[in-house]
Structure 1
Amino acid sequence: MNLRINKKYILPCTFFTCLLTFSGISVGKKSISEATAVPVAASVKTESTAAVLYDQLSLDSLGLSKEAFDYALTGHDKLLQEGKLQNDDILTIVDFSLPSTKKRLFVIDLEQGKLLFNTLVSHGRNSGKEMATTFSNSPESFKSSLGFYVTGPTYKGAHGYSLRLVGEEQGINDNALARGIVMHAADYVNDKLGRLQGYIGRSLGCPAVPVNMHKKIIGSIRNGTCFFVYSPDQRYLQTSKLIHQAV
């Protein structure tokens, strides 16, 4: 698989020799986003240099599936080629191979080589309790939808400051706007509740995030960035055209 990140300039792979070190990670605050950056080589990326970024940002130790990361870069590149991304610097990954008590939302600045946010995120109440295991594109299913989205504009709704998500995969998540699938804040997305009952609160299908972080996250990813919701769900992996683009 030839993973590509289309950027504005090219840096040699040897630039990645300096390791990132994160001490006292406090996600959603500035400790991660202000960590020493490892810029991503631009224009054309190989699988090996993408793997370097995965290692440099310590994504494995934070729990992000390597498969999720690789597929996210593949779909990001395809959406960019199709002219659907207004801002190709930012990549958001929701990794549903992790339980809801784990910090399974990752926001990565590909241009600067930084992990901006890593925090909790909800799944739909009918997708499972601790783990999200079933998914749907149907209205009133109250399930999460997998696949690639492009972030839209923000608005103030029932949950306050929120972010529209446009599903880019036909039959998989293209009903997102009609279903009202958006990113918003929720007080049930918190560690204390997760420790108490073994899973955080669930939404009606929206990727809800902690109240004390939602404005910063939404402000960073709004208006035309790539947003990928991953699961090792075989039906999705076998049917998604974006993760099976021609090389």
Structure 2
Amino acid sequence: MQKIIVCFFVFFFLGSSLPFKGKEGKKDILPAPMAVSEQERLYEQMGLQDLIDPEAFRLAYTGYKKLKNSNNSLLTLIDFNLPSSQKRLYVLDMAKKKVLFVSYVSHGRNSGENYAVSFSNRDGSHQSSLGFYRTGGTYNGGNGYSLLLDGLEKNINDKARPRAIVMHGADYCSEQVIRSSGRLGRSFGCPALPRELNKPIIDTIKGGSLLFIYADKAEYLAQSEIVKEDIFFANRLSSLPGSTHAST
């Protein structure tokens, strides 16, 4: 009787360690790969791999899904991880999956030289502010044709209106300035555009579309209620064994 019991357990454990076969006994069943997210799929469909940093797009998309108006599919992304000597503003039509504009854009004079490294929501700081904005109406002022911006993140960029942070054209935002000084000129905190693209871009994105100004800054990522939850789950996901999001 003891021999029968021992043989049963040996057979059971050996059998459980063998690869599981399908109905036809030909193929092992392997763990399914993790599903590609909607954001990752859209990133590929729009051909953004060689244009926009994937992390910048991921956070921009997170805010877009949470904040977009149902009748406005435009998203403008400014990547301040890049120097001002590179084109770093992108206007995207998320519904049509098209890139509408790629442009130079200036940052605030106290945010840095070629790179924007310091950011503020304080009036008089002459620094850029990170985060999500909604575009408003247009007006003609001291900087010509300009676009009002409403900061959507408390204590991060919600003083955009009192600070007169708007989108406008500027002579110091041009390739000629880059050739002569190695970088663009700088604003008082406004995202300033080349003169020739100022009106076309403003007329495209005015009236309620989203704009996201990105930089890989821990303070913003920790403080923003819009992206903080997404950062937490992304970090949890990347720690899972076999995750396609794991860092290398």
Question: Under a length normalisation based on structure 2, what TM-score does the superposition of the two structures give?
Answer: 0.76
1:49 paired with 2:46, answer no
4+ residue segments displaced more than 4 Å: none
- State how 1:142-153 maps to structure 2 within 5 Å: 142-153=126-137
Structure 2 partner of 1:182 = 166
**Hey, which of these two has a bigger chunk of helix by percent?**
2
* Structure 1 residue 113, shift from structure 2 partner: 0.8
For residues 104-125 of structure 1, what are the alpha-carbon distances to aligned partners after superposition, in whole Å with 9 as ceiling and x for unaligned? 0000001111100001000000
Taking the aligned partners of 2:181 and 2:151, their CA distance within structure 1 comes to: 32
Would the aligned equivalents of 1:163 and 1:184 in 2 still touch at CA under 8 Å?
A: yes
* Structure 1 residue 226, shift from structure 2 partner: 0.6
For residues 141-169 of structure 1, what are the alpha-carbon distances to aligned partners after superposition, in whole Å with 9 as ceiling and x for unaligned? 00000000000111111111110000000
Structure 1 partner of 2:181 = 197
1:60 paired with 2:49, answer yes
Residue 59 of structure 2: which of 71, 89, 96 is its match? 71
Structure 2 partner of 1:35 = none
For residues 52-72 of structure 1, what are the alpha-carbon distances to aligned partners after superposition, in whole Å with 9 as ceiling and x for unaligned? 33233332322x211110101
Bigger Rg over Cα:
2
Matched to 2:148, the amino acid is R
Structure 2 partner of 1:139 = 123
Give the unaligned 5+ runs of structure 2. Answer: 1-34, 234-248
What secondary structure, in the 3-state scheme, does the structure 2 residue paired with 1:184 have?
Answer: strand
What secondary structure, in the 3-state scheme, does the structure 2 residue paired with 1:50 have?
Answer: helix
1:109 paired with 2:93, answer yes
Would the aligned equivalents of 1:74 and 1:245 in 2 still touch at CA under 8 Å?
A: no
Taking the aligned partners of 1:47 and 1:160, their CA distance within structure 2 comes to: 45
Structure 1 partner of 2:200 = 216
Matched to 2:39, the amino acid is A
Taking the aligned partners of 1:129 and 1:87, their CA distance within structure 2 comes to: 38
Matched to 1:183, the amino acid is M
Taking the aligned partners of 2:212 and 2:36, their CA distance within structure 1 comes to: 19
Structure 2 partner of 1:161 = 145
Taking the aligned partners of 1:53 and 1:141, their CA distance within structure 2 comes to: 37
What secondary structure, in the 3-state scheme, does the structure 1 residue paired with 2:63 have?
Answer: helix
Taking the aligned partners of 2:37 and 2:179, their CA distance within structure 1 comes to: 38
CA RMSD of aligned residues (A): 1.6
Give the unaligned 5+ runs of structure 1. Answer: 1-45
Taking the aligned partners of 2:122 and 2:91, their CA distance within structure 1 comes to: 27
For residues 165-203 of structure 1, what are the alpha-carbon distances to aligned partners after superposition, in whole Å with 9 as ceiling and x for unaligned? 000000000000000000000011111211221110100
Taking the aligned partners of 1:78 and 1:235, their CA distance within structure 2 comes to: 21
For residues 33-60 of structure 1, what are the alpha-carbon distances to aligned partners after superposition, in whole Å with 9 as ceiling and x for unaligned? xxxxxxxxxxxxx863322332333323
Taking the aligned partners of 1:245 and 1:222, their CA distance within structure 2 comes to: 29
Would the aligned equivalents of 1:87 and 1:225 in 2 still touch at CA under 8 Å?
A: no
For residues 207-232 of structure 1, what are the alpha-carbon distances to aligned partners after superposition, in whole Å with 9 as ceiling and x for unaligned? 00010011110011001111000000
Taking the aligned partners of 2:191 and 2:78, their CA distance within structure 1 comes to: 8
Structure 1 residues 150, 135: closer, same or farther in 2, change over 3 A?
same
Would the aligned equivalents of 1:86 and 1:225 in 2 still touch at CA under 8 Å?
A: no
Taking the aligned partners of 2:81 and 2:216, their CA distance within structure 1 comes to: 6
